[in-house]
């Protein structure tokens, strides 16, 4: 997926030309590089020009005289997180856009993959890269291929070619397009090197999405349908919410088959498990609406989320359906991991009760509940995301030469992963936001929503 890294390198290289960044030094910090499951204790890290210039033991590294010293003795530093299924608002409301971007940063998310882009996001991507607008590195799609928007295979092909020419990073697939339209998009994508990512339309199915080499399948879309043996005629069955109506037809052996086929196809998966938990869990909508992170969202939006959850729950006529579906999804996540398929960290925010930035930490907990370790989960949002984007030489780990996307935390996140949810500071490509700055801006955002 070379397309991603080419754009990233060009944009990040423009930072130094447009703005002189401060030199920072973290002293006495314990480093979690994330390319290996280890903690390297008592290190000095020098950041200059937005990049990690040096890492070494105390006394081995020459501290520049002009450096800003960040006292980090006994604290832990790790790479910034990536939200691989994000939604970035339009630029029509600059204040709301600025707030959403900051909410990601305040939670240690230094890269987002915007899954529903628009032309203005191409300009926004460059502005963020130059630090003209404060925000996480932006990977963006264009307007999606979806039912109702695409009217023919030729139209699907045209959209892919136009978005490739415009410079988007990938094309988002939404439900509703036909198999013929999908195949035309795949052909155009192969010709241009333009990745396709997102949903698996019902007319396409998981097997075709895998054989087509769709870059990522988000929400584990298509997997529930695949768990039904192919000899079963589904015409008389209601699919239900993400396959809930098919639960009694699932063949558990096909969970491992799906995981192996995903691995063999080199297709990555973004589970967004927390999205499903919050939509169909027994926790009442009004209770979720009182959670602390809801203070950072417009009250009208939170109320819409309450209504959306209540509407959905009212349509479910299987008392044990939600818990069974969530359990199957957990088993799919664990099987995908165990079989070596690529998992990526993403929560789908802002969506129903998913507040940007905050929701990634709920997703971390949800993926751990599926049976992954702290290191394995954090890897899906750091090293794995960089690998997927072919940007291993740009971000994803704590290493000399890489962009200084860093999270400073109080405790060892490999032992206590909750420490990541309240960073002591966040560095985004060399710009340092300490806890005081994070709290000050979060308070201002909350005040605007009152």
Give the tens place of pLDDT for each residue, 348-364.
999 999 999 999 999 99
CA 116 to CA 376: how far, in whole Å? 28
- Looking up tokens 């509407």 gives 311
What is the pTM for the complete model shown? 0.94
- Helices 358-369, 273-280: inter-axial angle, 10-degree rounding: 90
CATH fold, domain 81-392, is: TIM Barrel (3.20.20)
CB of 237 within 8 A of CB of 246?
A: yes
pLDDT at position 323 is 96
pLDDT reported for residue 44: 97
Quote the DSSP letter at residue 62: P
Provide the β-strand partners of residue 86: 114, 349
pLDDT score for 105: 98
Distance separating alpha carbons of residues 367 and 380, to the nearest angstrom: 10
Locate tokens 């938990």: which residue?
Answer: 277
Q: Is the pLDDT of residue 378 over 80?
A: yes
Q: What is the pLDDT of residue 20?
A: 61
- CA dist., res. 275 & res. 347, Å (int): 6
Name which of 439, 386, 450 is nearest 103 in CA terms.
439
- Phi, psi values for residue 131, rounded to 5°: 65, 20
- Nearest CA-CA partner of 191 in 216, 209, 210, 165: 165
At residue 9, the pLDDT reads: 38
User: Of 3.40.50.1440, 2.30.40.10, 1.10.260.40, 1.10.10.920, which CATH number belongs to 2-79+409-434?
Assistant: 2.30.40.10
- Are the C-beta atoms of 170 and 141 separated by less than 8 Å? yes
Examine the pLDDT at 435 and tell me if it is beyond 60: yes
Joined together, the tokens standing for residue 143 give 């307007």
CA distances in angstroms from 41 to 19, 187, 424, 427, listed in the order given: 33, 50, 18, 20
* CA atoms of 8 and 2, how far apart (whole Å): 10
Question: Is 10 a residue whose pLDDT tops 70?
Answer: no
Q: How confident is the model at residue 450 (pLDDT cuts 50, 70, 90)?
A: confident
Reply yes or no on whether the pLDDT at 404 is more than 80: yes
Cα–Cα dist 395/14, whole Å: 16
Give the separation between CA 187 and CA 106, rounded to whole angstroms. Answer: 40
Residue 41 binned pLDDT confidence (cut-offs 50, 70, 90): very high
Instruction: Please write the tens of the pLDDT for every residue from 91-112.
Output: 889 999 999 999 999 999 999 9
Q: Looking at residue 1, what is its pLDDT?
A: 46
At residue 164, the pLDDT reads 98
- The domains of the chain are located at 2-79+409-434, 81-392
Which one, of 253, 265, 245, lies nearest residue 227 by Cα? 253
Mean pLDDT across the stretch 173-181? 97
DSSP 422: S
pLDDT of 2 strictly over 70: no
Among 313, 304, 247, 246, residue whose Cα is nearest residue 280 = 313
Instruction: Indicate the average pLDDT of the chain.
Output: 94
- Over residues 204-248, the pLDDT tens digits come to 999 999 999 999 999 999 999 999 999 998 888 888 999 999 999
pLDDT of residue 187: 98
């Amino acid at each position: 997926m070379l397309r991603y890294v080419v754009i990233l390198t060009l944009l990040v290289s423009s930072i130094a030309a447009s703005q002189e960044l401060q030199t920072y030094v973290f002293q006495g910090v314990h480093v979690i590089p994330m390319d290996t499951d280890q903690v390297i204790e008592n290190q000095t890290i020098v950041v200059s020009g937005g990049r990690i210039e040096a890492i070494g033991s105390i006394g081995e590294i020459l501290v520049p005289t002009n450096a800003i010293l960040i006292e980090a003795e006994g604290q832990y530093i790790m790479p910034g997180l990536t939200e691989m299924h994000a939604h970035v608002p339009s630029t029509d409301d600059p204040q709301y856009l600025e707030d959403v971007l900051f909410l990601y940063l305040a939670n240690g998310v230094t890269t987002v993959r915007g899954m529903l882009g628009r032309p203005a996001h191409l300009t926004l991507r460059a502005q963020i890269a130059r630090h003209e607008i404060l925000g996480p590195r932006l990977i963006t799609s264009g307007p999606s291929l979806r039912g109702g928007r695409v009217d023919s295979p030729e139209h699907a092909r045209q959209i892919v070619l136009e978005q490739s020419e415009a410079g988007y990073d990938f094309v988002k697939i939404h439900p509703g397009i036909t198999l013929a339209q999908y195949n035309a998009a795949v052909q155009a994508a192969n010709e241009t090197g333009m990745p396709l990512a997102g949903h698996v339309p019902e007319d396409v199915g998981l097997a075709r999405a895998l054989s087509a080499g769709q870059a990522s399948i988000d929400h584990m879309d298509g997997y529930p349908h695949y768990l039904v043996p192919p000899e079963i005629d589904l015409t008389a069955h209601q699919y239900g919410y993400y396959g809930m109506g098919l639960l009694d037809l699932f063949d558990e052996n096909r969970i491992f088959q799906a995981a192996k086929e995903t691995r063999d196809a080199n297709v990555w998966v973004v589970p967004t498990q927390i999205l499903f938990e919050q939509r169909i869990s027994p926790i009442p909508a009004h209770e979720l609406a009182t959670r602390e992170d809801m203070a950072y969202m417009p009250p009208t939006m939170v109320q819409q989320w309450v209504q959306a959850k209540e509407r959905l729950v009212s349509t479910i006529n299987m008392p044990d359906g939600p818990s069974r579906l969530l359990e199957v999804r957990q088993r799919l996540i664990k099987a995908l991991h165990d079989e070596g398929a690529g998992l990526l960290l993403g929560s789908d925010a802002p969506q129903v009760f998913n507040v940007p930035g905050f929701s990634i930490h709920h997703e971390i907990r949800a993926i751990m509940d599926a049976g992954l370790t702290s290191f394995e989960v954090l890897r899906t949002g750091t090293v794995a995301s960089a690998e997927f984007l072919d940007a291993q030489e740009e971000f994803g780990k704590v290493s000399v030469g890489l962009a200084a996307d860093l999270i400073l935390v109080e405790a060892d996140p490999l032992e206590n992963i909750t420490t990541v949810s309240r960073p002591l500071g966040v560095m985004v490509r060399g710009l340092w936001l300490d806890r005081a700055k994070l709290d000050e801006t979060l308070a201002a955002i909350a005040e605007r929503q009152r």
